[in-house]
Amino acid sequence: MKVLTVEDDAIVQHVLRGILTAAGHEVLPAKDGDEALRLFQDQPVDLVISAWQLPGGLDGIALCEAMRAFRIPRYVYFILVTADSITSSSYGAAVARGVDDFLPKPLDREQIPARLLVAERIIRSFSELRQVKSLLPICMYCKKIRNDDNYWSQIEAYLAEQTGSAFSHGVCPSCYEGVVLPEIGRGGASETFPG
């Protein structure tokens, strides 16, 4: 993953880089919120790890809000690095403003790669869901959907496979009028059992 690390402390920035690089991630370092926003606009970042306190006008939470405001077509996972003195109400406020996870200081070199695995899983699920929601090839007559293997399946089978959704079959009012009632009318005549 491409990880944007936002931290003005050169030592913490270096340690973060070491941990992330060793875990196979690409690191994009930024010293403050403004630089982070510039990099964020220029490059496709998957994940952001930011200090809570930052020099300049943007702190970590304001940076998260600013990034969320871009409404880009992929999910960017945002982790805030916190001090031990943070209260639970601050955590709640940070989550409400778009933060996904927190990393406590001192940075734990075992914990960070594990947290990033979770982030990767969530990002992947989001992108799969997005694929489902994006443009789907559909037959204009029978409404079957073409999947990645060039196989045409019923829309409910396709969605069940992609999203795990289950379907309860009902009848909408117009189909009831146009299809069901005529069927009942037709069936009524034949519903005579041999005596």
Partner 1 sequence: MPSPASSFFSAVLVVDGNALNRRMAEQLLLQLGWRCGLVSSTEEALDWIVRDKWDAVLVELSLPDGSGIEAVSRLRRRVEEAGYPPPRLVAVADGGSARTRVVCRAAGIAAFLTRPLTLRDLEGALSPAPESEAERSGDPVLIQTLGGLRDMAGERFVLDLIAILAKEGPERLAEIGNVLATGNLPVAGRLFHKMKGSASSFGATELTRICEVGDDACAEGDEALAKECRRLAGEELGRVTAFLARWKEGNHA
Burial class of residue 54 in the structure, from the number of CB atoms within 10 Å of its CB (0-12 exposed, 13-18 middle, 19+ buried): buried
CB of 81 to partner 1, least distance (A): 8
CB atoms within 10 A of CB 115: 18
Nearer residue to partner 1 within complex by CB, 14 or 74: 14
Kindly give the interhelix angle for 60-68 and 88-96, rounded to the nearest 10 degrees: 20
Nearest to partner 1 of 83, 179 (CB atom): 83
Could you tell me the smallest distance in angstroms from the CB atom of residue 22 to partner 1? Answer: 5
Judged by the rule CB under 8 A, the positions of this chain that interact with partner 1 are 8-12, 14-15, 18-19, 21-22, 51, 53, 83, 105-107, 109
State in angstroms the smallest separation of the CB of 86 from partner 1.
12
Instruction: State the nearest-atom distance from the C-beta of 101 to partner 1, in Å.
Output: 18
Measured between alpha carbons, how far is residue 148 from residues 131, 132, 161 in Å? 11, 11, 12
